[in-house]
Amino acid sequence: MRQACRTLGYESAWVAEGHGGDQFAVLGACAVATRRIRLGTSISSVFVRSAPTIGMAAATVDQLADGRFILGLGGSHRVQVEPEHGIPFVQPTARLRDTIAIVRALVQNGLVSYRGEIITIERFDLCSDRCGPDPDLRCRAVPSDAGDRGELADGVLLTWPTPGTIARAVEHVALGARRAGRAATAIDVASLIPCAGREDRGRARDALRPAVGLYAGFFPRTTGCWRRRASATPCATSRRRLTAAAATRQRRRCRMSSSTPSLLRAHPRRVASASDAYRRAGLALPIVSPRASGADALAMAMAAIRACAP
């Protein structure tokens, strides 16, 4: 994987976190095994770790990576935070705002005392030499809240994009930047672009259906965003069916039975050929996000990474 990323010309590599390995541990290993590629979290939830813990982890990986680390933060989803982690999902934007302020202070100065809207830190001392320059902070967003992220962070990180949603996010980012007295050009828009490494277009669409089903059935904010930009009937029908399946704990069946052709058509999967349209819409950084499962998942993922190389 390291050799492939280097020879294919990728400038950054990103690690998500949900039910797999700890993203900071994985990125720490990547940091000592690489020299040039930038490394980021996409994203780290502000609910499942305390703000000082996120700051410590970010400072550690950034030191191991010689300044190549990008910290992507977000609120995650209520359906993950509360039932899976046992933590109340309360005021996600306020928690994100407080966490960013705490992490910035801790990484820059090695010491933080902070009283925010929902987080108060009396005093936290990093007790190490890992403090450094202002960290590169990106925030996860859907287009409707990209303006808030434009006020807070150095960049916005989307997922499941279309050129239209990217253009709207760019507009919201510019508005948020102006509210904060910042230049819109100082905040870039990046996006995970889900894709499948199959030669046949139909098989590629089929490979993406489980991921589409998962997001449509379990993440209301994503579903709402899709509903606004896709034909309403198929989206609403799939949402009702998937939600019903989830209620009966048929999670695997739910994920595999998704039939949302209008959504699939709305999200181009040939990332290499679609990248120009994304960039024209204002996407600064397309992030290839292979969706693969089963015995040949690694081969599928690598096929997508090769096909979408810069």
More confident residue, 263 or 192: 192
- List beta partners, residue 111: 125
pLDDT digits (tens, 9 = 90+) for 26-84: 999 999 999 999 999 999 999 999 999 999 999 999 999 999 999 999 988 888 899 99
Which residue, of 99, 119, 140, is where some domain finishes?
A: 140
Tell me, yes or no, whether 53 and 69 share the same domain: yes
pLDDT at residue number 257? 36
What is the CATH number for 300?
A: 3.20.20.30
Give the H or E element holding residue 75: none
Share of residues in the chain with pLDDT > 90 (%): 34
Which residue, of 122, 140, 158, is where some domain finishes?
A: 140
Tell me, yes or no, whether 166 and 198 share the same domain: yes
pLDDT digits (tens, 9 = 90+) for 184-220: 888 889 999 888 877 777 777 788 888 877 777 777 6
Tell me, yes or no, whether 96 and 196 share the same domain: no
pLDDT at residue number 6? 65
Beta strands in 175-233 (DSSP E): 188-195
Measured CA to CA, the distance from residue 100 to residue 71 in angstroms comes to: 10
Tell me, yes or no, whether 102 and 5 share the same domain: yes
**Does the structure show a pLDDT above 60 at 271?**
no
- Residue 146: give the domain boundaries: 141-310
Measured CA to CA, the distance from residue 20 to residue 26 in angstroms comes to: 10
Residues 6+ apart with CB under 8 A from 149: 139, 140, 141, 156, 173, 176
More confident residue, 286 or 257: 286
The DSSP output letter for 49 is S
Q: Is the pTM of this model over 0.85?
A: no
How many Cβ atoms are within 10 Å of 190's Cβ, its own excluded? 24
pLDDT at residue number 14? 94
pLDDT at residue number 226? 60
Tell me, yes or no, whether 226 and 95 share the same domain: no
Tell me, yes or no, whether 124 and 157 share the same domain: no
Tell me, yes or no, whether 163 and 278 share the same domain: yes
Determine the average pLDDT of the residues in 278-286. 89
Tell me, yes or no, whether 121 and 153 share the same domain: no
Query: Considering its fold, how many domains does the chain have in total?
Result: 2
Tell me, yes or no, whether 265 and 191 share the same domain: yes
Tell me, yes or no, whether 96 and 150 share the same domain: no
Q: Which of 107-116, 137-146, 292-301 has the lowest mean pLDDT?
A: 137-146
Residues 6+ apart with CB under 8 A from 100: 73, 137, 139, 152, 153
Tell me, yes or no, whether 104 and 24 share the same domain: yes
